[in-house]
Amino acid sequence: MNAAVDKEGSAKIMILGPCSAESEQQMMEVASQLKALNPDYIRAGLWKPRTRPGSFEGFGMSAIPWLNAIQQEFGFKVCTEVANSQHVELALNAGLDALWIGARTSVNPFYVEEIASALRGVDIPVFIKNPMNPDLHLWQGAIERILNAGIQKIAAIHRGFSFYGNSIYRNVPRWQIPIELMRRMPGIQMIADISHIGGHTGILREIAQIAFDLNYDGIMAEVHPDPAKALSDAEQQVTPHFFKEQILDKLILRKGFSNDELYNQRVNHIRNEIDEVDLKIVRLLAQRMLLAEDIGAQKKRQGVSIFQPERWDQIVSRLLEEAKSLNLSEEFIFSLIEAIHIESILHQSHRMNRANELPE
Ligand code: PEP
Ligand code: MN
């Protein structure tokens, strides 16, 4: 497998451009404003998968000449989203330089397989976004299907995951999923789509910084010459000027390692301590599960149900208060207690429903 996008040293991949191609003038304008930044690809959606009908669904194949125009005028490489074999055929015939598979497509192995078949024997970089739902295997499977079609240049795009409820993000990042994908598929470059994770402009830099600190290979961002007038995703698009001044120039690029001996000694020392703490955490969790099982035995004798809403409420409030005073985020502690609670319930349930158990 080859790198999807060749970069020298610590240079980062940049894929910039509007959510959708809206007119030749818009594409020319954005391309000319992006010239100085020299992104690796200009992105623009032709076929827009929208959650609800009635919203703007892209100009489709009639927008292809606008992408060709910026290839010719500026020498830029361009990429677009494909969701079926017809899109692939049109994009390839038009000489587009790379393709990406969106989150609403990578979610479905039938769609991915259709695209993979259309790509057989073709040499073009393909970027694969994570599926809408936080399913690592589905993402990995989509990448494998495209690899199996013989595509050599593949990168993953992390665009966050949909969820129900409130969050500062449009799509929650769940960084552990792309981190695990990088561990499992080390040859695949990882790109953060900061716009679809963020959903609003104020948070884009912070997301890009986290991605860089996690050693991502690059970023995708939606830039538009006049974001307020964008036909799709207006709230999250920024001008090329804003992207440079407020995001790119403010990012701190750090290296992956250092050879400084003192630094390595100190870090190793701290890592040993971390390993000790991690072991203690796991042992404490085991202890907690034994206690849950003891409660299970008591409840079984009395015929009392496992889940007690008031008790759960009490646990959550007490720990969230403690977390606050210790400067731990509510979101983190809540999801941690939730996971512990579910595991405890499973232990209790196992204890209470054990077959052939002698009366206690
Ligand atoms: C997009 O990139 O404009 C897009 C529709 O992305 P996603 O598939 O991540 O929602
Ligand atoms: Mn978009």
- Written as tens digits, the pLDDT of the chain (360 aa) is 789 999 988 899 999 999 999 999 999 999 999 999 999 999 999 999 877 888 899 999 999 999 999 999 999 999 999 999 999 999 999 999 999 999 999 999 999 999 999 999 999 999 999 999 999 999 999 999 999 999 999 999 999 999 988 899 999 999 999 999 999 999 999 999 999 999 999 999 999 999 999 999 999 999 999 999 999 999 999 999 999 999 999 999 888 789 999 999 999 999 999 999 999 999 999 999 999 999 989 988 898 888 888 999 999 999 999 999 999 999 899 999 999 999 999 998 888 887 655 544
Shortest CA distance to 81 belongs to which of 201, 238, 240, 233?
A: 233
* Ligand 1 binding pocket, CB closer than 6 Å: 19, 45, 49, 102-104, 129, 159, 193, 196
**Residue pair 45/81 in contact by the 8 Å Cβ criterion:** yes
Ligand nearest to the CA of 220: 1
Taking the centre of ligand 2 as the mean of its atom positions, its distance from the CA of residue 330, in whole angstroms, is 30
> In terms of DSSP H, where are the helices of 40-83?
64-74
Provide the pLDDT for residue 160: 98
Ligand nearest to the CA of 199: 2
How far is it, in rounded angstroms, from Cα 288 to Cα 345?
A: 11
Atom of ligand 1 at shortest distance to CA of 220? Answer: 2
Among all bound ligands, the one having the nearest atom to the CA of 100 is: 1
pTM: 0.84
Measured CA to CA, the distance from residue 174 to residue 163 in angstroms comes to: 11
Q: Best of 193, 197, 219, 220 to mutate for ligand 1, by most ligand atoms within 8 A of CB?
A: 193
Q: Residue 220: which of 44, 76, 10, 30 has the closest Cα?
A: 44
Protein residue closest via CA to atom 4 of ligand 1: 102
| 43, β-bridge pairs | 79
Q: What is the pLDDT of residue 357?
A: 55
From atom 2 of ligand 1, which residue's Cα is the shortest distance away? 19
Beta-carbon neighbour count of residue 253 at 10 Å?
A: 10
pLDDT of residue 337: 95
Ligand 2 midpoint to CA 149 (Å): 27
Both tokens assigned to 264? 């390595």
DSSP state of 26: H
User: How far is the C-alpha of 183 from the C-alpha of 215, rounded, in Å?
Assistant: 12
Q: How many whole angstroms from 203 Cα to the centroid of ligand 2?
A: 16
102 C-alpha vs ligand 2 centroid, how far in Å? Answer: 10
49 C-alpha vs ligand 1 centroid, how far in Å?
8
Cβ atoms within 10 Å, residue 312: 14
Kindly give the distance from the C-alpha atom of residue 322 to the centroid of ligand 1, in angstroms, as a whole number: 39
Q: Which ligand has the minimum distance to the alpha carbon of residue 79?
A: 1
Bridge partners (DSSP) of residue 190 are: 156
From the CB of residue 17, how many other CB atoms can be counted at a distance below 10 Å? Answer: 29
Q: How close is the Cα of 161 to the center of ligand 2, in Å?
A: 14
Own/partner contacts of 227-233, CB < 8 Å, gap of 24 or more, are: 227/201, 230/18, 230/19, 230/20, 230/22, 231/19, 231/20, 231/22, 231/56, 232/19, 232/20, 232/45, 232/48, 232/50, 232/55, 232/56, 232/58, 233/19, 233/20, 233/195
> What's the confidence (pLDDT) of residue 278?
98
Q: Which of 126, 127, 159, 220 to mutate to test the pocket of ligand 1 (most atoms within 8 A of CB)?
A: 159
Neighbours of ion ligand 2 (CB under 5 A): 19, 233
